[in-house]
Structure 1
Amino acid sequence: MRLVVLGLSLSSSWGNGHATTFRALLKAFAARGHDILFLERDVAWYRDQRDVTDPDYCRLRFYDDIDDLARFTPEIAEADAVIVGSYVPQGVAVSHFVQATAGGVKAFYDIDTPVTLAKLERGDFEYLDPAVIPGYDLYLSFTGGPTLERIERIYAAPAARALYCSVDPALYAPSGAAKRWDLSYLGTYSADRQPTLDRLLLAPARARPDLRFVVAGPQYPDTIDWPANVERIAHLPPAAHADFYSASRFTLNVTRADMIAAGWSPSVRLFEAAACATPIISDLWEGLDMLFAFGREIVPACTTDDVLAALDGADADSIGRAAQARALDHHTAAHRAAELETYLQAVAQARALADVA
């Protein structure tokens, strides 16, 4: 299969989770024998922070603007499938171009589904307009559950399918790093996540000055009052993630408000930490217990006391090993690549049958 992907970024993981998602998925998709071209808008923010420039599983090419994208008209027209990702600059224009040009299966991959739907409800069509959704054969969503039916019913998507994030077990595994922190958190600053981070990490740090904590990620404002026992790491490249998780006795998962409201929206950090056998303390949302069993594979927490109790009493090793087993059995990039192949082939076969009829 010849696949063209137009995504926010493959080259830079700085301040976004799209790059690691695409890297894992496309590497596994290529391993199934497919040919992939990834087209990325050349923007200064990512240009100056690139940590992948020549992947061995796909061709990575850059374009300057929507007019420059026309250079790739033959590749888009002749591909068996073309996927446009969320948050692509000038995404609506890109959608129109792809839908007018592509001869194969056309799919939108929403790595930010609850955020996207909230934006659409506000009339904010930054990268997706409701008018282009019916023009996609597939709406691939980071969110499953009832949201899929909503996308089909309200926005007339011909087929909405869950394509969750995943983990590349070749990159995420226990590294043997010595334990440095009792509780860690890895994530870019988000205003709607910060109250939960305050409650589930900063407040426990203040209550337990004898324990060690760390927050890794960019864009945190200078106004945050970090306790003395909370280490800060401004940016942690993906190559350092496995050591980071392995050095954590527990790690924290914090979910954005729109994703909590939608449910069924696992973060890639969940699967990456689990693959490193690091026990996870997580905030609560619908569908989480379908991914990891509460108390056995993950520790749910609503309050500061919940976190403190877990740090003092939970069987970290047992929870970490059970979470790792679940991630490797159900949530690797190989699993997602097989799902993506199935979705694309089903649409292609249905189109072929319709043409014959």
Structure 2
Amino acid sequence: MKIAFYGSSLTSAYWNGAATYYRGMIRALAGLGHRVTFYEPDVYDRQKNRDIDPPDWARVVVYDGTIEALRAVAAQAAEADVVIKASGVGFEDDLLLAEVMAAARPQALRIFWDVDAPATLADLAPAPDHPLRRALPDLDMVLTYGGGDPVVSAYRALGAKACMPIYNALDPETHHPVAPEPRFAADLGFLGNRLPDREARVEAFFLEPAARTPGARFLLGGSGWGGKPMSANVRDIGHVPTRDHNAFNVTPKAVLNISRASMAETGFSPATRVFEAAGAGACLITDYWEGIDLFLLPGQEVLVARDGQDVAEILSGLTPERAQAIGRAALARVLREHTYADRALQVDQLLTEAAVAKAATAAAKAKTGLGAGERAA
């Protein structure tokens, strides 16, 4: 199928946590024969901080952050069999949704793909006139990158015809074991941008354990942490390009995943970091959220901490041998069950079934209309 995908950015992970997810999903869909054009706005300095060139598995169209440019690329939705508007594009999201869905051909599938369902649902719940909420009944489906049954039920209650989670996963071509690099040496590493919905949890799960264990080395990667008070044993290295993520993951004795507060509360929302770390064969410590055991087995494939004290205790008792064994087990699990190739097969089936159902409905309506005309004659 020919897919028009409107998202934040495929070519830049700069302030764009969905980049890994988009790349893995679209590359895998292309491998199944789908032809994807990804439309991304030139905003937030992302084009100045590209970390990949336009790939050969998708056509990338970058448009200026202007209304005129938005309308021009939205009009190209008319050429597609599937039109996808993602959440959090970052420039005139409501207008973009309206324009691309209006441009889509009647027989095309119309999809909203939510890469931050807790935040989106929090906006929709108290706002019956929200543009997305009004549009839901006219869309063929909503896809989300997590949330499980709570998110599915919430979207159905708001009027969505169908909602399915398509979870984060691993792209083994981009995230895989590599040799350790001394510049990332530490006992515990954490990689994540400074966000309001995460900062308090980073303090509790990373910075406070660091302050309580001055003999251990902590490595902090990600944008926005400059000026944040932290103990002397924390090394802040700023933005880490995606090309260095594998080395960042495998070099420390363990790496930490800290969910945003809304994701942790919703559950069933594994971050891309979970699969990046597992794919590199790293020993991962994660904060607790409901549904972890659907992806990795606690105690054997991942270590789970409910607070900062747990993090400190896990780290103090973690031997290099056990850390390596957990990393190997996690890698085997995600390669076996959680790759983007697996997720793409799920999406491919959904698209095929939805297209067949939509065509059958249109044919039935046409036949009914023809029959009525014949009877009138």
1:320 matches 2:320: no
Q: Give the 3-state SS of the residue equivalent to 1:63 in structure 2.
A: strand
1:233 matches 2:237: yes
Q: Give the 3-state SS of the residue equivalent to 2:164 in structure 1.
A: strand
Which position in structure 2 is the counterpart of 1:267? 271
Q: Give the 3-state SS of the residue equivalent to 1:181 in structure 2.
A: coil
2:359 is aligned with what amino acid?
A: A
Quote the Cα distance in structure 2 between the aligned partners of 1:134 and 1:185: 40
1:194 Cα deviation after fit: 2.1
Which position in structure 2 is the counterpart of 1:187? 192
Moved more, 252-261 or 204-213: 204-213
Which position in structure 2 is the counterpart of 1:102? 104
Which of these residues, 277, 281, 285, is aligned with residue 277 of structure 1? 281
1:110 is aligned with what amino acid?
A: D
CA displacement 1:28-48 (0-9 Å, x = unmatched): 111112211111112252132
Moved over 4 A (4+): none
2:95 is aligned with what amino acid?
A: A
1:331 Cα deviation after fit: 1.8
1:214 Cα deviation after fit: 0.6
1:236 Cα deviation after fit: 0.6
Q: Is the 8 A contact 2:15 2:46 kept in 1?
A: no
Unaligned runs of at least 5 residues, structure 2 = 365-377
Quote the Cα distance in structure 1 between the aligned partners of 2:332 and 2:280: 10
Count residues in correspondence. 355
1:196 matches 2:201: yes
1:125 Cα deviation after fit: 8.7
Q: Is the 8 A contact 2:144 2:167 kept in 1?
A: yes
1:157 Cα deviation after fit: 0.6
Moved more, 161-170 or 190-199: 190-199
Which position in structure 2 is the counterpart of 1:67? 68
1:176 matches 2:171: no
Q: Are the structure 2 counterparts of residues 43 and 291 from structure 1 closer, same or farther at C-alpha, using a change threshold of 3 Å? A: same
Quote the Cα distance in structure 2 between the aligned partners of 1:304 and 1:260: 15
Moved more, 193-202 or 280-289: 193-202
2:139 is aligned with what amino acid?
A: Y
CA displacement 1:232-270 (0-9 Å, x = unmatched): 111011111001001121111111111122111110000
Q: Give the 3-state SS of the residue equivalent to 1:117 in structure 2.
A: helix
1:13 Cα deviation after fit: 0.6
CA displacement 1:72-109 (0-9 Å, x = unmatched): 46641121111111112211111111221112111111
Which position in structure 2 is the counterpart of 1:337? 344
Which position in structure 2 is the counterpart of 1:86? 87
Quote the Cα distance in structure 1 between the aligned partners of 2:9 and 2:120: 17
Q: Is the 8 A contact 1:28 1:337 kept in 2?
A: yes
Which position in structure 1 is the counterpart of 2:374? none
Moved more, 189-198 or 262-271: 189-198
Which position in structure 1 is the counterpart of 2:375? none
1:122 Cα deviation after fit: 4.8
CA displacement 1:117-169 (0-9 Å, x = unmatched): 1122354999x631112222110012232224323432111110001122211
What percent identity do the matched residue pairs reach? 35
Q: Are the structure 2 counterparts of residues 344 and 251 from structure 1 closer, same or farther at C-alpha, using a change threshold of 3 Å? A: same
Q: Is the 8 A contact 2:287 2:304 kept in 1?
A: yes
1:57 Cα deviation after fit: 1.0
Moved more, 231-240 or 163-172: 163-172
Q: Could you say which structure has the larger radius of gyration?
A: 2
Question: What is the TM-score normalised by the length of structure 2?
Answer: 0.89
Q: Give the 3-state SS of the residue equivalent to 1:259 in structure 2.
A: helix
Which position in structure 1 is the counterpart of 2:246? 242
Spell out the pairing of 1:105-116 with structure 2 (5 A cutoff).
105-116=109-120
Which of these residues, 139, 143, 150, is aligned with residue 140 of structure 1? 143
Quote the Cα distance in structure 1 between the aligned partners of 2:71 and 2:133: 24
Question: What is the TM-score normalised by the length of structure 1?
Answer: 0.94
2:47 is aligned with what amino acid?
A: R
Quote the Cα distance in structure 2 between the aligned partners of 1:227 and 1:23: 36
Q: Is the 8 A contact 2:77 2:104 kept in 1?
A: yes
Quote the Cα distance in structure 1 between the aligned partners of 2:126 and 2:192: 26
Q: CA RMSD, aligned part only?
A: 1.9
CA displacement 1:32-73 (0-9 Å, x = unmatched): 122111111122521322223421111111223343234346
